[in-house]
Amino acid sequence: MERTTVYRARTIRTMNPSLPVADTVVVRGSRILEVGTAESIRPWFSGQTPEIDDTFRDAVLMPGFIDPHVHPALASILLPMHWITGVDWKLPGRSLTSVRGQNEFLNRLTEIESQLSEGEPLVSWGYHELWHGPVSGGLLSRISNRRPIVVWHRGFHSLYLNDAAMAWAGITREDAERHPQVDAERQLFYESGMAMVLARLRSYLLAPERIKAGYRAFKDVIRAGGNTTIGDMAFGKIGGEELEWQLCQETFDESTPFRVQMTPVGIPFGADSVDIPARMAHLKSLRAKNTARAHFGKSVKLFADGGFFSNLMQLHWPGRIEGQDGHWITSPELLRQAAEAYWDAGDVIHIHTSADLGLELVLDTLEHLQARRPRFGRKLVIEHLGVSTPEQIQRAAELGANASVNIYYVHELSDRFYKCILGYERASQMSRLGTLTRNNIRFSLHSDFSMAPAAPLVNAWVAVNRLCETGKVMGELERISVEQAMKAITIDAAYILGMDGEVGSIRAGKKADFAVLDSDPFEVPPERIREIKVLGTVFEGKYFPNSF
């Protein structure tokens, strides 16, 4: 018989509404046998002396946190880069202080450049024009006209190349001028233009030692946040399916204290056309590949409008203060064609959707799909939900959509977008969780790491308080309760991944996955939720203390 252990804790928040609070949980092997009190568990040990473990006697246990939208390959490309960001970051083993202002940003690039060895390219991540002012390839060439310099935008969906980097990538001025998503004058590459650069620099960005180090760093990031389940929400998009599967197998081995559910892309990144039947047949074979820590869901990822951080999203009138146009990642025609095929196949469709015009396309598509072949339950998940209207959320509820929301937009972007891009009304109401709650739409919170910290308690803190980076409350009536926020990083996040029967709450029969905390999120002042320390995680019955 498998080992049975009784864990006692100061408090156990089960996220099961039928038994929300307990102080004792019994684990047999990798699963929960029972949760309750020392008295209520006795029938399991009639005539026996149970093995009592008091490791968590002074701690708080919650279900292992779930981040349903991350990108392991993307994060593993970015983590080895030189980070220059407009806000402070904390990562396992290092803390980063913000850099603000154009001169300060260029000075930091110059400092890094001076420290590199001959022939080594300078690839940075974290640039944002709202913190660092305008840049261009020509400006970067003044730092060095011999060393390739790549400045990857904070939002990942765009980047700048200096002249040497253009040559390094084998891109001529004529190539740039011909491409529809390249600003040749500024040497700015976005969406499919960025995908072109990514493909040209593949041998550097995905070099074996570099990418493996990135995956190891990503693994530490996920552990540090208290996550025991994550969703790879665009498997194959960055490194290709073969390489990403190989890295997944090597990195997320049986010693890894979390599991990964992978959702492959329905349209290869950067493609303007696709053989849908051939792609569906390929995905069917892909889903047969599973390991102890990684498995594929019956789901697919599609993309509507451009990235939110990168200000490439599609907005309804009145658009932007500056009047800049948005962009589509996938043409509306191709998006509908793909959505029809995957819908008819019974896949759950996750659609990257940044702003209200993009959301209108997604809702029109969903209404079309429901009219031709009605489906019930979890079927379409709106991913990100930056800008939306109350009427769109009501329509989404009527059509049966769910949402996985990047709430960190509120903290990092709302004040800057208010002043420079959207105006106060729309900026203060971005990522509108309160409206989702009032319309009874089930939603999760995600990080889209590195678009936000892969720290669910930080994102829950934003959801409850809606404090922007200057300390102002943005959209008071879009705040949610602590309970709603905790559901969005546990049981409702499990639902978004279709895993709520296995994980997401502490109850008999589920996987024994716990986040071990030094304080109770339901008891501390709401403004202190992000200060709660994650002491470690229990994954399938085994404790993994944090040492970060």
- 179-213 residue pLDDT tens: 999 999 999 999 999 999 999 999 999 999 999 99
Angle in degrees, CA 220, 86, 193, rounded to 5: 85
d(CA 350, CA 149): 34
**Would you place residue 323 in the very low, low, confident or very high pLDDT band (cuts 50, 70, 90)?**
confident
Bridge partners of 516, per DSSP, are: 61, 536
Residue 72 pLDDT greater than 80, yes or no: yes
Contact 210, 216 (CB under 8 A): no
d(CA 9, CA 40): 15
pLDDT at 103: 98
Mean pLDDT over all residues of the chain?
A: 96
Domain ranges (residues) in the chain: 4-58
**Would you place residue 36 in the very low, low, confident or very high pLDDT band (cuts 50, 70, 90)?**
very high
d(CA 51, CA 45): 10
d(CA 398, CA 82): 45
d(CA 59, CA 50): 21
* Long-range contacts of residues 19-27, Cβ cutoff 8 Å, at least 24 apart: 19/507, 22/506, 25/61, 25/506, 25/512, 25/514, 26/50, 27/512, 27/538, 27/541
DSSP string, 27-90: EETTEEEEEE-TTTTGGGGTTS---EE-TTTTSEEEEPEEEEEE-HHHHHHHTTSEE--SS-EE
Residue 48 pLDDT greater than 90, yes or no: no
Report the percent of the chain where pLDDT is more than 90: 96
Over the stretch 274-287, which tens digit does the pLDDT of each residue have?
999 999 999 999 99
pLDDT at 548: 78
Task: Work out the average pLDDT over 362-386.
Answer: 97
Task: Work out the average pLDDT over 132-146.
Answer: 97
Q: For the structural domain made of 4-58, what CATH number should be given?
A: 2.30.40.10
pLDDT at 373: 97
Over the stretch 343-360, which tens digit does the pLDDT of each residue have?
999 999 999 999 999 999
Residue 269 pLDDT greater than 80, yes or no: no
Over the stretch 425-456, which tens digit does the pLDDT of each residue have?
999 999 999 999 999 999 999 999 999 999 99
Tell me if residue 436 falls in helix, strand or coil. helix
**Would you place residue 124 in the very low, low, confident or very high pLDDT band (cuts 50, 70, 90)?**
very high
Over the stretch 162-185, which tens digit does the pLDDT of each residue have?
999 999 999 999 999 999 999 999
d(CA 181, CA 105): 25
> Which of 324 and 252 is assigned the larger pLDDT?
252
Phi (first) and psi of residue 183, to 5 degrees:
-95, 95
Residue 270 pLDDT greater than 80, yes or no: no
